[in-house]
Structure 1
Amino acid sequence: MKISKRQLNELNSRFKDRHPEDVVLWTTQLERKAVVTTNFRPYEAAILHLVSQVRPEIPVLWCDTGYNTEHTYRHANEVHKLLNLNLYQYAPRQTVAWREVEMGIPGIDHPQHILFTEQVKLEPFRRAMAEHNPEIWFTNLRKGQTAHRDGLGIFSRSKDGILKVSPFFHWSDQDLDSYLSGYGLPNEARYWDPTKVLENRECGLHS
């Protein structure tokens, strides 16, 4: 959906101090095709719970790199069953075993790191978005995660012009701990992203 920078600024000002549920309720009233993405990292259960409670049928897109820990896969299964998610899982076209022979897990400065990131994260994500073709994308971006994300807001636009909605953008870890505890939701502390060296580094999906 087309939305101007001025409209984004107005929405971010209007909803800055509102509860995340108000953000989701207002957005769903637009009656546009929407998805929520996840990688089942820490605090993802919050956005999945919030959005699925308002819109149970919303497609949940999981781009699984294939390198998640056993704990993360168990966590994903638990949240999936607990929330009865309409889950779509997208994996790289190449197997981990094949990639181990071809390149392993290249470091950030290695010439094959860009190709690695393309294979395990960017291509599956583009495939997922192309298949569902959403106009609204719910995500769990939060201020303070990276320098790039600090310049965004609850509402922003993707590179393709999709309206990105991050209801918990201004919430702290402590706020989310209370949310998870209040709804009896599990958290994930052992998530690992093979495309990143540092937690505050972008992987390419949001930048």
Structure 2
Amino acid sequence: MHSMVDICSLNDKYNNVAGEDIIRSILAEAKKPIATSKFGPNAESFIKLLSKLSPTLPIIWIDVVFDNQAFRENMHSLRQRYQLNVITLCASLDEINKYESGKIPPYDSPAFSVFQKTLKVQPFERFLAEYRPDYWLTDIRQNESDARRELNIFDLKGTGTVKVAPFARDTSLKHTQYRQATKHFNDVCKPSLNLECGLHGL
């Protein structure tokens, strides 16, 4: 079990280390690592690297249901191309039925945070509590939004899982643009690139 002191030490130790080398180090010591991906338009570079370094690594995809087909199509395409071990999470049917198409609350309303938590955050929280991974790899980066400007490479979650953003500061892994334009990906939990979907506020 890691402590916040360990996390500070890890951030200092890996401050100037390349993202790929961070992943290699984590995978070498991890017992139950996972990764998450939204399978958006910039996902392929990270996914390809993970498949090379750990072909059987569980990659968690949260199906929000109300997102458009572009995410689902990209997930299926990349899963087939790289033979990924994708685990799909989803809210219960009762929870989904609370939000019929056209009834999603506006982003600036208090009800929207409940919507995010119900459809995106809670399915992942339930998974973390049951699976109890020791490391969680993600491709979020400091330069993606104002909210992520102070992002650290390592962060400790309440479940004891260490969240790792290996490319938080390292820009060497360039995004490979997906065949569809970014505008075709409509993330209902994150209506603007400068906003958060809720998952990384855990």
Match of 1:2 in 2: 2
TM-score w.r.t. the length of structure 1 is 0.82
Gap change, CA 1:170 and 1:64, over 3 Å in 2: same
Match of 1:46 in 2: 45
The letter of the residue matching 1:134 is P
Task: Report matched runs for 1:93-172 at 5 Å.
Answer: 93-94=92-93, 99-100=99-100, 104-172=103-171
- The structural deviation recorded for 1:122 is 1.2
**Aligned pair partner of 1:203 in 157, 177, 197:** 197
The letter of the residue matching 1:176 is K
What whole-Å deviation, never above 9, does each CA across 1:73-117 have from its counterpart, x for those lacking one?
21111100111111111112137565217x711002334223211
- The structural deviation recorded for 1:34 is 0.7
The letter of the residue matching 1:30 is E
Gap change, CA 1:13 and 1:187, over 3 Å in 2: farther
Which stretches in structure 2 are left out of the alignment for 5+ residues? none
- The structural deviation recorded for 1:22 is 0.7
SS of the counterpart of 2:74? helix
The letter of the residue matching 1:206 is H
- Aligned equivalents of 2:103, 2:86: Cα separation in 1: 29
- Aligned equivalents of 2:57, 2:181: Cα separation in 1: 22
What percentage of aligned pairs have identical amino acids? 25
- The structural deviation recorded for 1:29 is 1.6
Match of 1:29 in 2: 28
SS of the counterpart of 2:124? helix
- Aligned equivalents of 1:188, 1:14: Cα separation in 2: 38
- Aligned equivalents of 1:144, 1:134: Cα separation in 2: 27
4+ runs deviating over 6 angstroms: 185-188
Q: How many residue pairs are counted as aligned between the two chains?
A: 199
SS of the counterpart of 1:62? strand
Give yes or no for contact 2:141–2:148 (8 Å, CA) kept in 1: yes
Gap change, CA 1:47 and 1:156, over 3 Å in 2: same
Give yes or no for contact 2:36–2:136 (8 Å, CA) kept in 1: yes
What whole-Å deviation, never above 9, does each CA across 1:26-69 have from its counterpart, x for those lacking one?
11121321100111123222222222221211111111101222
- The structural deviation recorded for 1:13 is 3.5
SS of the counterpart of 2:99? helix
Which stretches in structure 1 are left out of the alignment for 5+ residues? none
TM-score w.r.t. the length of structure 2 is 0.84
